[in-house]
Amino acid sequence: MIKVGIIGATGYTGVELIRILSSHPRAELVGLTSQTYSNQGFDSVFPSAANITGLVLEPQDAGALAERCDVIFTALPHGVSMDVVEEIVNKGKKVIDLGADYRFDHMDVYEKWYKIEHKTPDLARKAVYGLPEIHRELIKQADVIGNPGCYPTSIILGLAPLLKKALINPDTIIADSKSGVSGGGRGLNLAFHFAECNENFKAYNIGVHRHTPEIEQELSKLAGEKITVSFTPHLVPMTRGILSTIYAALYKLPSTAELLELYREFYKDEYFVRIHPAGQYPQTKWVHGSNFCDIGLTVDHRTNRVVVVSAIDNLVKGASGQAVQNMNILFGLPEKTGLDFGPVFP
């Protein structure tokens, strides 16, 4: 059994990790930390977890937790993971960080967009960006995995086949994404109050969203050249889900059927990426509660563009499910272990 600890267990991604790992056949939860709810039973803070785990939330002590674990998930805000990850790695244990601190190849980019100095730059440069469908072989050897952001997961997977085959003009990429409110985290924030977001639909952080450099970093690797994208996120009044609609100009004009065949071939061995047939476009309801990324597309011959639609659950494939997928890779397990459950519908 893989002994697992979670630092920051009472945020949405921490709670989702516990839901998934509690039924994982090869994982055993041995420690959960929380600064806010320390010394309380997890199931007393979250009654939904009754009969799922009887663990008591501990004060944060990364070193002590690492002594009992094989791998630790850090579900902490950006800037906070840096305070614990190095200590865990120094004890010879694996870390999967669900924040932004270990997603970037270049620390100046991180520091520019997140407005803080990186405390462990050498460790960050050795970390692996944990998108399994793209970086599987590197993940197998990693000590630290920077689990991807939710928006980047939907956009990178949506564009990867086109960029690898150099079929689109990278200067023309526009990503228009919508997210449910759980993407904003569990902390109190006026923007996510019911009366503020119910019956409302808004764009936010236009041109300055912190997922932008992460998207550009990974798309640039796929294309083999520096890419700059136009990315606009939106908040929609639902709890879970991300839908990204991505536009790009095509160098040539293949048929929709030809591009769909390219996608099926590219993702033929990827259980968690599902390509929809022509004329069928993903909906967030189709992936709700699952680790799937659903993709549909069309060639718009009138505008010489391809339109790709990508849907994920932001808390599963966009966060905790993908983190467990990375854990499975680290420990040589089939990737769908503990994740082979279907979406919740309706």
pLDDT at position 190 = 84
Angstrom distance (rounded) from CA 319 to CA 80: 17
Instruction: Give 189's contacts (C-beta < 8 A, 6+ positions apart).
Output: none
Model pTM above 0.85: yes
Angstrom distance (rounded) from CA 70 to CA 142: 13
Torsion (CA) 207, 326, 239, 186 in degrees, nearest 10: -80
pLDDT at position 125 = 96
**Which domains does the chain show, CATH number per domain?**
2-126 (3.40.50.720), 151-314 (3.30.360.10)
Three-state DSSP string of the chain: CEEEEEECCCCHHHHHHHHHHCCCCCEEEEEEECCCCCCCEHHHHCHHHCCCCCCEEECCCHHHHHHHCCEEEECCCCCCCHHHHHHHHHCCCEEEECCCCCCCCCHHHHHHHHCCCCCCHHHHHHCEECCHHHHHHHHHCCCEEECCCHHHHHHHHHHHHHHHCCCECHHHCEEEEEECHHHHCCCCCHHHCHHHHCCCCEECCCCCCCCHHHHHHHHHHHHCCCCCCEEEEEECCCCCCEEEEEEEEECCCCCHHHHHHHHHHHCCCCCCEEECCCCCCCCHHHCCCCCCEEEEEEEECCCCEEEEEEEECCCHHHHHHHHHHHHHHHCCCCCCCCCCCCCCCC
pLDDT at position 187 = 81
Walk along the chain (346 residues) and give the pLDDT tens digit of each residue: 999 999 999 999 999 999 999 999 999 999 999 999 999 999 999 999 999 999 999 999 999 999 999 999 999 999 999 999 999 999 999 999 999 999 999 999 999 999 999 999 999 999 999 999 999 999 999 999 999 999 999 999 999 999 999 999 999 999 999 999 999 888 878 888 899 989 999 999 999 999 999 999 999 999 999 999 999 999 999 999 999 999 999 999 999 999 999 999 999 999 999 999 999 999 999 999 999 999 999 999 999 999 999 999 999 999 999 999 999 999 999 999 999 999 999 9
| Among 128, 87, 81, CA closest to 101 | 81
197 catalytic? Reply is no
User: Residue 301 corresponds to which tokens in the numbers above?
Assistant: 């011959």
Catalytic, out of 69, 150, 197, 293: 150
pLDDT at position 120 = 97
pLDDT at position 186 = 86
